[in-house]
Amino acid sequence: MALASAGLIKRPVNPRGRLVHLYRVESNGTRAILKLMWTPNNRLPEPAVYDVLIQAGVEHIPEVYESGTVVEDPFGYRIDYLLIEDAGVSLAEYIGSLNGVGIAGMYNAAAKVTQKVLDCLVQARQAGVLHRDISAGNLAVRNGKLAVIDWGYAKLVEDDGRGNSRTGISIDDLARKWRFDKGIVMKNEDEHDPITGTPRYMSIPILVGARQRSIADDAESALYVLLEAAFKVVTRRVALEDDEKRPIALRFSDSKSLAYVRANCFFESDLYLSAFGIYDYGDEFRVLTDALRKYLFERDGKYIGTRLSIVTDFERSANVEQLEAIRDAAVDSNRCNTDFGSDRGEATADSDRGDATADRDWSEATADSDWSEATADNDRSEATADSDQSEATSTPDPNEMASTSD
């Protein structure tokens, strides 16, 4: 492996748990990222996740040129490396760079990228992988090509007790290849479900401490990345600093407050975009966001968002097939009419709440403001780690570094 280094990518690190160093390098004339990972032995090594994704043929991930283990078990840790494609810039930076398409055109471009994100999440889940940290820093675009990056906080899901029956990938074989204890790692990753992710992009259930993850949580995070990127483009600001001038749905105080505010914002199907400071949207953008809103927050025609923000153990029925049904919603607007009914009957009456009745003026929330990422005073003792920068090569914003993954 012959590399020419362009320097360390600086980012805050967690003094305990995982530690990652990123380097911009050139390998055989190609721009790349060298990622060195110091990982506890009881956590899933990221190269093993990429191994599964590659074996399953999952699209929209960065190309992996080389991977391996440098050192095994020094004082309860392991050191692995990944040499991967330089994936590009954030979604907001990408759509902000488009010329001559207008605001609606930028929004539609963002919707098309988000469709690819959903495609990646669906394929990954079919391979038995949940990302668990979809955020602005973990979606990268170069020349219109999306890469979902930073799979270091992913978890494996067994569909048949041994591996994933749809792909034939055995977790037992994976554990032997990458030398981790399957039982210990799988149990530990399950225990990290309630605290893994970047707070401002976490789903409502995870913000309030839900103990189980599903693909719906990743899809909800993708929706927040899309809505935030759209607002940033409107304001022509990539970093916003005044919390009071943010749109109400993008203000961060603490996890439970954000969950309840967003649950109220999504109650009204005709007002939720204005709660995120978005108005002049294109058709593809609106069809996709409406479809995602319905998939995430309605069951049997009833709104469940408020219940998700209050009842920690409320189980949102959501499966891969339902997300596949809306993946192409911006192309076929009729798909937006899909009824995402509860197949377990848990979505009980929730629709006529005075707490969510948005007879309110969201206009105060738009603001040509300048805002920063929430620094994640996030009710969690482990809220110091960061996974929100990783392989993306845009210049890190120190205010966009809040992640609670470890």
pLDDT tens string, the chain, 406 residues long: the values are 655 566 666 555 444 578 999 999 998 888 999 999 999 999 999 999 999 999 999 999 999 999 999 998 878 999 999 999 999 999 999 999 998 999 899 999 999 999 999 999 999 999 999 999 999 999 999 989 999 999 999 999 987 555 565 667 899 999 999 999 999 999 999 999 999 999 999 999 999 999 989 999 999 999 999 999 999 887 765 445 566 678 999 988 899 999 999 999 999 999 999 999 998 888 899 999 999 999 999 999 999 999 999 999 898 987 788 888 887 654 554 444 455 554 333 333 333 333 333 333 333 333 333 333 333 333 333 333 333 334 444 433 333 333 444 5
Please report, as a single letter, which amino acid is at residue 83: L
Q: Which domains does the chain have, with CATH numbers?
A: 89-400 (1.10.510.10)
The pLDDT value given to residue 1: 60
pLDDT the model gives residue 379: 35
Distance CA 405, CA 388 (A): 10
Q: What dihedral angle (degrees, nearest 10) is formed by the CA atoms of 43, 150, 68, 167?
A: 80
First to last CA, the chain: 31
> Going by DSSP bridges, is the β-strand pair 155-156/129-130 parallel, antiparallel, or unpaired?
antiparallel
Cα 335 → chain centroid: 23
**Model pTM?**
0.81
Measured in whole angstroms, the distance separating CA 155 from the mean position of its chain's CA atoms is 13
CA 292 – CA 332 distance, rounded (Å): 14
Strands 145-148 vs 139-142: parallel, antiparallel or unpaired = antiparallel
- The CA distances from residue 323 to 89, 127, 205, 247, in Å, are 26, 15, 18, 27
Residue 346, pLDDT score: 35
Q: In 259-354, which ranges are E strands? A: 298-299, 302-303
Structure tokens, 51: 């191994």
